[in-house]
Structure 1
Amino acid sequence: MTMKTTRTLLRTLIQHRRAAIVPGAFNALSARVIEDLGFEAIYVTGAGISNMWLGLPDLGFIGLTDVAQHTARIRDAVSLPLIVDADTGFGNAINVYQTVRTLERAGADCIQIEDQVNPKRCGHFAGKDVITLNEAVDKIKAAVDARHDADLLIMARTDAAAVHGFDAAVERAQRFAEAGADILFVEALTQLDQLQALPRHVQAPLLMNMVIGGKTPIASTENLADWGYSLVLYANAALQGAVAGMQKALQTLQQQKQLDESSGLVVSFAERQRLVNKSFWDSLEHQYTGSQLSS
């Protein structure tokens, strides 16, 4: 599937406003699992990259090169639309321009830029701050201007609710839409009535982030669809599930001194090879070398 097609699919998806669930991927294999299970889009999570590749919290430790490399690897592994977390754009409006150019080439279908000060921190951590509204709007304008393909989407995120309150966050979202953002992301709302009210104040498509254990109350996808959200993000559900699975499998190994497929704690060897598409590479080896592999 071409990037033009995936971008068109994503634009159509957000226009339907049916609260499509978008899981986050922290590497190519997690993206493969998401696609294999039938989800419609993937979020390339900055927090996931920081946690799973560096073993560090989401405190602005990753840069553009990290995100671009992960995006390119995931793009090569799956054919679903990719929404890419570009944090603050890694600097000012000029840096945002270069960030969008780089991630567009890497295969992003939507690029998310937020209004935190740089370096940023997880939207559900204490101690956040945001740049001025005018500077934030200029960064969204730069992102919109930077894209070569008009079908590439720009997502504008604001963290202003935690700093200046709900009304200020709504104002920023409105201004970001006026600046050309295709989809809006108001992070870390803390009350269900705010989640319900937001779509009444903003006409552009909206994403709501459901952080397991975070500051935002978990709302049902059915309610979020009724309220008018386009996408529901579970950015690190796969990451948290993977860590829980690793802990359980390794604790069992530690206690019982052995572990096999019958435990139900690990996928089978065959399933692991299916997910990484080993049969395709076997067929290529046969095509080019004539070898016939039995397994």
Structure 2
Amino acid sequence: MTFQKRREALRSTLSGAVCIRPGSVYDAISIRIAEDIGFEVGMFGGSVASLAVLGDPDIALITLTELAEQMRRMSRAAALPVLVDADHGYGNAMNVRRTVQELETAGAAGLTIEDTLLPQAYGQAKPQLISLEEGVGKMKGALDGRGDPSLVIVARTGAASITSLEDTIVRAKAYEATGVDALFFTGIKAKSELEAIAAATTLPIVLGGAPEAMNDPDYLRGLRVRIALQGHAPIAAATQAVYETLKALREGLPPKELKGLASSELTNKVTREAEVKARLAQLLGL
């Protein structure tokens, strides 16, 4: 599947009538598994990118080059459309422009740009937002950097948990006016907040986490929520599995007695062994 088709598939999800849950992906194997299972969209979060590439917490240490290269690896491995958390765009509006160019080239189907002040300011323990004017400039920079019109640009704000609902709506309307394709909200705690935001805007909504009472797909669908994140459990599960396996081996358990390992059938499937063997026969006569 070409990059354009992946982007068109993501656009189809955003313009559709249902709310989907994306599969959290972070490397070549995880994206293939998500694709094989049938997820419509993959979500490459900033936190999992930092874990997978650096082994560091989500404090904006990863660079654009590292993020784009990991996305490029995933794009090669599978055709699943991926929405990338591009954080703050790695700088000002000009940096955002380049972030879009790099992630577009790397095969992302879409990306989010947020208005959080990153990296964290000296002496400020709580998250902060950049000004509305700078946020608008970043969205404009993202749109200006887009070479493929099918690439999805999503404006993200965490104002609901940092400033106020009123500020959230002001920012959402201003970002919508720039021409972005969707709006991403984090920190929403009540149905009334989501309902007010949906009433004040018109674009498809991506929701980054919400209380259990707001997780009904039919309810979210009625408020134009087309993608609702459900955390990044796969990398947490993988971390636990690796820890338990290495711990058991270190304590002397024979490898053949280990539990929970991928079968040879599953390994062959995710490594596309049948396709590789066919090419070996065709190209190398093996």
Length-normalised TM-score, structure 2: 0.91
Of residues 225, 228, 232, the one that matches 2:228 is: 232
The answer to whether the 8 Å contact 2:85/2:111 transfers is: yes
3-state secondary structure, aligned to 2:228? strand
CA deviation vs aligned residue, 1:119-143 (integer Å, no higher than 9, x gap) = 169xxxx721110000000110111
Supply the AA of the counterpart residue of 1:229.
V
- Matched residues in 2 for 1:42 and 1:221: separation? 18
Query: How far 1:157 sits from its partner (Å)?
Result: 0.4
- Residue 23 (structure 2) pairs with residue 23 (structure 1): yes
The answer to whether the 8 Å contact 2:184/2:205 transfers is: yes
- Matched residues in 2 for 1:120 and 1:105: separation? 28
Which sections of structure 2, spanning at least 5 residues, go unmatched? Answer: none
- Matched residues in 2 for 1:252 and 1:220: separation? 40
CA deviation vs aligned residue, 1:40-89 (integer Å, no higher than 9, x gap) = 01112221011122111000010110111011111111112121111101
- Matched residues in 1 for 2:53 and 2:140: separation? 31
CA deviation vs aligned residue, 1:128-184 (integer Å, no higher than 9, x gap) = 111000000011011112111111110110021222112211211111111111010
Of residues 260, 266, 279, the one that matches 2:274 is: 279
- What is the match of residue 184 of structure 2? 185
- Matched residues in 2 for 1:127 and 1:61: separation? 18
| Alignment map for 1:1-295 (pairs within 5 Å) | 1-119=1-119, 127-210=126-209, 216-218=210-212, 219-250=215-246, 257-260=253-256, 263=259, 265-291=260-286
- Matched residues in 1 for 2:267 and 2:36: separation? 12
Query: How far 1:252 sits from its partner (Å)?
Result: 5.3
- Matched residues in 2 for 1:134 and 1:242: separation? 41
Supply the AA of the counterpart residue of 1:70.
Q
The answer to whether the 8 Å contact 1:190/1:217 transfers is: yes
Q: How many residues align?
A: 281
3-state secondary structure, aligned to 2:229? strand
Cα 1:279/1:118, change in 2 over 3 Å: same
Query: How far 1:192 sits from its partner (Å)?
Result: 3.9
Cα 1:16/1:63, change in 2 over 3 Å: same
The answer to whether the 8 Å contact 2:136/2:178 transfers is: yes
Cα 1:261/1:44, change in 2 over 3 Å: farther
The answer to whether the 8 Å contact 1:261/1:268 transfers is: no
Which sections of structure 1, spanning at least 5 residues, go unmatched? Answer: 211-215
- What is the match of residue 213 of structure 1? none
The answer to whether the 8 Å contact 2:159/2:187 transfers is: no
Q: Give the percent of matched residue pairs that are identical in Structure 1 and Structure 2.
A: 31
- Matched residues in 2 for 1:41 and 1:120: separation? 30
CA RMSD of aligned residues (A): 2.1
Cα 1:60/1:286, change in 2 over 3 Å: same
